[in-house]
Amino acid sequence: MKRGTQLTSILLVFICLSLALLTAWQIWFSHERALHELNVANLNLAQALDNYSEGVIRQSELVLVDLAERLEQEGKGRAHLERLQKVVREQSRVLKLASTIIIYDAKGDRLLVSRGDINARPNASDRAFFIHHRDNPSTEIFIGPTIKSRLAHEWVFTVSRRLNDADGKFSGVVAITLSVEHFLHLFGSLDLGKQGTMSLSSSDGTLLFRQPFREQDVGLDWSNSTIFQTLRQHNQATTVQISRIDGIERMYALRRNSKLPLITVVALGRDEALTAWRRDARLFTTVILILLFAVGLIGQRLLVDVRRRSRAERQLLSAREELLDANARLEILASQDALTGLANRRSFDQTLEAEIRRAQRQGSDLTLMLLDIDLFKHYNDHYGHLAGDACLRSVANLLKRCMRRPGDLAARYGGEELAVILPNTSDEGAESIALAFMASLKQSDLPHENSPFQRITVSIGLASLQPDTQDSATIAERLIEAADQALYRAKANGRNRLESTVRQSSADR
């Protein structure tokens, strides 16, 4: 009995230490996972804002090039300027973010303005964009620093282009001022919490604007920061730093535009961002402490009464079974995409490798189908991301209903791209499934005003092969590459169509 008591005491100590260590590990792991997920979300948001800013600048560039060609070919005569006045007013109306379109002569005097006080004659010869074009023979666009407009009396930054005369000499500047207020309205609509910030800077580290906006922050130079030096080697980076502006520790995601001299920064207050993690950690710790107390109480009774010890052992076994059931449920959730309900990328990769090995053993065909929702970015831009998520779920549900066999797997491959693994399925069978899905999608008639088809459509690429004895990972890469090439052809040939590769052995390449 004494030996049994000692063994029981050792077991109790072991259980308590194990639970304590498990708790510590779980809290640390969830902390690291929360930081990783926040960094990924920040980088994704920074990329989205970077793409938006690039689109606005490129749109402005097209207007500037058109106006520059008109002025350099037709001159700056009064009659021509009067005609251009109507053109720039219309272009200023179409460019939602454009505050003003202005044309200056070689002295910096205004020749034409799209809106505002047309009688005002401010001179721009002291402005950075004018000096840049006057001293630089390049006709590339220039993104100037943020300034207070002398016409609209609001904060703007300029996108400008040099004008040359017939001899190639400087003859003026055509510029578009982009309203900081409009950018702030967009940035402010994104909820990053009370301590979150977003900003746009030039590539030399000069701040164009920051949300929340403060006039004293305009033109701030942060090029001497450590993270800025990292951006010299990489297009994007993440870091945790204390802000020099307000002293708040934030998680920063920075992205340098690969085509324009712009840097987009998204930051979350670190303490604020980890609020949910701390709440969950406290809850988990409380539960574990309660469990430890229960184990101790049960252990004490085990030392007194063998019957109670047996009953406590049964309770522990029951708890173990519940934990295994919970782990099994978590494993199912880990293999499923939260938005669409389809299998996620991890499950897709594992299933594809398993089916390749099965096909190798049985000598059967294996077909992969890659689907991409046509012009889905335009859909998001027009209807919003919430509607885009709903659309993606609807397409995924239609795809699941078209799966005929339990062994077929539909997965979210990435973004708006879906994938279907069809074991023991020939080209004809896979094409039949793909066409049935396209017909079902057509019948559902999901509206898409920015599509030439006026509804949601998909492009599909099919690839089929009969695996040989090569490495399954190599076969998987080749099968995915073949399906991806077929999908690319479907897009290149007009979208809303199916393309497939000729069935081949995996050794054909």
Q: Phi/psi at 411 (nearest 5 deg)?
A: -140, 155
Residue type, 238: T
Q: What is the pLDDT of residue 191?
A: 79
Q: What is the pLDDT of residue 391?
A: 92
Q: How far apart are the first and last CA of the chain?
A: 71
Statement: residue 447 has pLDDT above 90: yes
DSSP codes joined into one string, 409-420: EEEEEETTEEEE
Statement: residue 506 has pLDDT above 50: no
Statement: residue 509 has pLDDT above 50: no
Statement: residue 318 has pLDDT above 80: no
**25 lies in the same domain as 98:** no
CB 493 within 8 A of CB 499: yes
Residue type, 485: Q
**83 lies in the same domain as 118:** yes
Picking from 248, 273, 298, the residue at the C-terminal end of a domain is 273
Task: Write out pLDDT tens, residues 28-80.
Answer: 888 888 888 888 888 898 888 888 888 888 888 888 888 888 888 877 777 77
Task: Write out pLDDT tens, residues 353-381.
Answer: 888 888 888 888 889 999 999 999 999 99
Q: What is the pLDDT of residue 453?
A: 92
**129 lies in the same domain as 71:** yes
**309 lies in the same domain as 388:** no
The conformation of residue 374, written as its DSSP 8-state character, comes to T
pLDDT confidence tier of residue 446, bands split at 50, 70 and 90: very high
Among 9-13, 233-237, 285-289, the least confident range = 9-13
Q: What is the pLDDT of residue 117?
A: 57
458-466/498-500 β-pairing: parallel
**350 lies in the same domain as 222:** no
- C-alpha count within 13 angstroms, C-beta hemisphere, residue 260: 23
Statement: residue 338 has pLDDT above 90: no
**Angle made by CA atoms 274, 50, 194, in degrees to the nearest 5:** 30
Q: Which residue has the higher pLDDT, 338 or 82?
A: 338
pLDDT confidence tier of residue 503, bands split at 50, 70 and 90: very low
**125 lies in the same domain as 266:** yes
**18 lies in the same domain as 41:** no
Statement: residue 456 has pLDDT above 80: yes
**Residue 337 is assigned to a structural domain of this protein:** no
Which residues does residue 198 pair with via DSSP β-bridges, in sequence order? 211, 266
As a whole number of angstroms, the distance between CA 130 and CA 146 comes to 14
Structurally, the chain folds into a number of domains equal to: 3
Task: Write out pLDDT tens, residues 390-403.
Answer: 999 999 999 988 88
Please, what is the average pLDDT of the chain?
Answer: 83
Task: Write out pLDDT tens, residues 189-247.
Answer: 777 888 888 888 988 888 888 888 888 888 888 888 877 877 777 788 888 888 877 78
User: Could you tell me the two tokens for 167?
Assistant: 């001899």
**Residue 278 is assigned to a structural domain of this protein:** no
Length in residues, the chain: 509
Q: Which residue has the tokens 């299933």?
A: 351
**258 lies in the same domain as 360:** no
**Residue 395 is assigned to a structural domain of this protein:** yes
**59 lies in the same domain as 192:** yes
In the structure, how many helices (H) and strands (E) does the chain have?
13, 16
Task: Write out pLDDT tens, residues 457-502.
Answer: 999 999 988 777 677 778 888 889 999 999 999 999 999 999 988 5
Cβ neighbours for 64, distance < 8 A, ≥ 6 positions apart: 141, 159, 160, 161, 174, 175, 176
Q: What is the pLDDT of residue 372?
A: 93
Task: Write out pLDDT tens, residues 105-162.
Answer: 889 888 888 776 555 667 888 888 999 999 999 989 999 898 888 777 788 888 999 9
Does the pTM exceed 0.75? no
pLDDT confidence tier of residue 306, bands split at 50, 70 and 90: low
**130 lies in the same domain as 235:** yes
**422 lies in the same domain as 489:** yes
Q: What is the pLDDT of residue 245?
A: 76
As a whole number of angstroms, the distance between CA 506 and CA 500 comes to 16
Q: What is the pLDDT of residue 116?
A: 61
Helix 2-74 × helix 78-94 angle, to 10°? 160
Q: What is the pLDDT of residue 310?
A: 59
Q: What is the CATH number of the domain that holds 406?
A: 3.30.70.270
Q: What is the CATH number of the domain that holds 46?
A: 3.30.450.20
CB 158 within 8 A of CB 141: no
Q: Which residue range is the domain that position 444 belongs to?
A: 345-505
Residue 105 zone, left/alpha/beta (φ > 0; ψ -120 to 50; rest):
beta
**Residue 263 is assigned to a structural domain of this protein:** yes
**155 lies in the same domain as 292:** no
Cβ neighbours for 49, distance < 8 A, ≥ 6 positions apart: 187, 198, 200, 264, 266
